Amino acid sequence: MSFSGQNAYDFTERISIPRLIGSDGWIKARKMIKNEFKQYGYEIRTHEFKSSMFITNVLLRVLMIPLLTIIFLIVWGYFFFPWLSLILSIIVLCIIPLIGKYASSGTDYKEPKEGINSQNVFAELKSLNSKIHIVFMGHYDTKSQVLSIVQRVICYVLLFVGGITVCILSIIGSILKIFFITNPILSLIIFICGIITAIVSVLLMANAVQNKSPGSLDNGTAVATLLELSRVFKENPPENIDLTFLCTDAEEQGLLGASAFIQEFEEKYDKNNTYFINFEAPGAKKGKLGILTSFGMPKKQYTSKKLNELAIKAAEELKIEIKKQYWPIGLQADHNPVMNHGYKATMLGAMAMSVGVHTPNDNMENVSSEKLEEVGRICEKIIDLLDGELS
């Protein structure tokens, strides 16, 4: 029996409860996942680690305070102390590439001394020849925030672009002022950019984490997709490809589960023949299916060319529309820590993540069984194509 979009839809509906780490819904969702694996005849494996909400609910918000202060000093300095504005602007521009890299890719997991006992849940399927390894992954925790995911990304992009603009124009304007040349239009632009940057900093400072999202699309659909794939391949396993079906925890708190997992099992998975396919909000009723090919600002980073080509070829053969996707700053997912450790990875998911993600409106109204089936069939085809290449 091939992939059933209805099966995936039904499980998404069951797991659509607020499941912020540490909550009752989170514990219940994990039990559902384990029961599903058990029903399909898998040995359930777990990986325990500690997580916390410090990064998302404290650090990222508190960091807006020094950032806001620096922007204020640059703009204020431009009008009253050009040398101060010039020096601060140069310093900020020098560290922006580092900020952009972190905001696009994240950092390694460091276990907190005190935290919430969290758990990655996974199952493995060995093949006859074990030539390569594919890991399907998706997170099962949720969160809601004051800002929706689209509002958050817009704020981060405005903050990034606005900050760079303020610095560059302040350098130009400060040099002119040092030589007693004043440009009123330039001064007005710097002031406006400073105000915009300050406003988005305050909005991001207020972006508290809550537990109001049922997480149907983000990321109940992903868990449902990989569970249904585990059923399909248990009945008809590939000859040359070992499979792992990984449900990660605490993704919404800084990709903690995926990062902890890859650090723990790095020696087990050979970087030369292990590929990761991460699901992020597949099955969206609105919008097209996307394959993430690049991400990051200011420098683009690229996902696995091999996996992307296979996904596009599979979609073409199945006559399913799929689009190449780019993620800017302010968006990260579980493929990031995996790639940071040198593995080949990509991400399949919805291009229309605006439909209530990280809000109470992330419910089943946004999910389509037909779209889930398209994602599942593409993944089946990817394995089929790859298995054929290896035979």
- Give the model confidence (pLDDT) of 122-170 as tens digits: 999 999 999 999 999 999 999 999 998 889 989 999 999 999 999 999 9
Q: What is the DSSP letter of 1?
A: -
Residue that has been written with the tokens 């590439």 in this structure: 97
The structure tokens listed for 353 are 């993540």
Please report the pLDDT score of residue 134 as a whole number. Answer: 99
Question: Can you tell me the mean pLDDT for 225-247?
Answer: 98
> Helix count (H) and strand count (E) of the chain?
13, 11
Inform me whether the pLDDT recorded for 105 exceeds 90: no
Cβ(221)–Cβ(139) under 8 Å? no
> Which band of pLDDT confidence, cut at 50, 70 and 90, is reported for residue 116?
very high
The structure tokens listed for 158 are 């405005």
Total number of residues shown for the chain: 391
Q: Which of 90, 56, 52 is nearest to 204 (CA)?
A: 56
Query: Mean pLDDT of all residues in the chain?
Result: 94
80-94, 172-186, 283-297: the lowest-pLDDT one: 283-297
Question: Can you tell me the mean pLDDT for 344-370?
Answer: 89
Handedness of CA 127, 373, 317, 288 (dihedral sign): negative
Inform me whether the pLDDT recorded for 96 exceeds 90: no
> Which band of pLDDT confidence, cut at 50, 70 and 90, is reported for residue 342?
very high
Please report the pLDDT score of residue 177 as a whole number. Answer: 94
Q: Which of 19, 219, 246 is nearest to 137 (CA)?
A: 246
Q: Three-state DSSP class for 259?
A: helix
Inform me whether the pLDDT recorded for 351 exceeds 70: no
Alpha carbon distance 237, 252 (integer Å): 32
Instruction: Return the amino acid letter for 229.
Output: L
Cβ(344)–Cβ(307) under 8 Å? yes
Residue 6's H or E segment, with its range, is: helix 5-15
**pTM of the full structure:** 0.94
Q: Which of 12, 7, 21 is nearest to 366 (CA)?
A: 12
Per residue in 45-79, pLDDT (tens digit) is 999 999 999 999 999 999 999 999 999 999 999 99
Inform me whether the pLDDT recorded for 102 exceeds 80: no
pLDDT: is 112 or 353 the higher one? Answer: 112
Please report the pLDDT score of residue 330 as a whole number. Answer: 66
Please report the pLDDT score of residue 52 as a whole number. Answer: 95
Question: Can you tell me the mean pLDDT for 321-340?
Answer: 89
Residue that has been written with the tokens 């030369």 in this structure: 272
pLDDT > 90: percent of the chain = 86
Question: Can you tell me the mean pLDDT for 322-327?
Answer: 92
Inform me whether the pLDDT recorded for 355 exceeds 90: no
Q: Which residue intervals of 40-180 are DSSP H helices?
A: 54, 60-62, 64-80, 82-105, 149-178
Per residue in 172-212, pLDDT (tens digit) is 999 999 998 989 999 999 999 999 999 999 999 999 999 99
Please report the pLDDT score of residue 33 as a whole number. Answer: 99
Alpha carbon distance 327, 54 (integer Å): 24
Alpha carbon distance 255, 336 (integer Å): 8
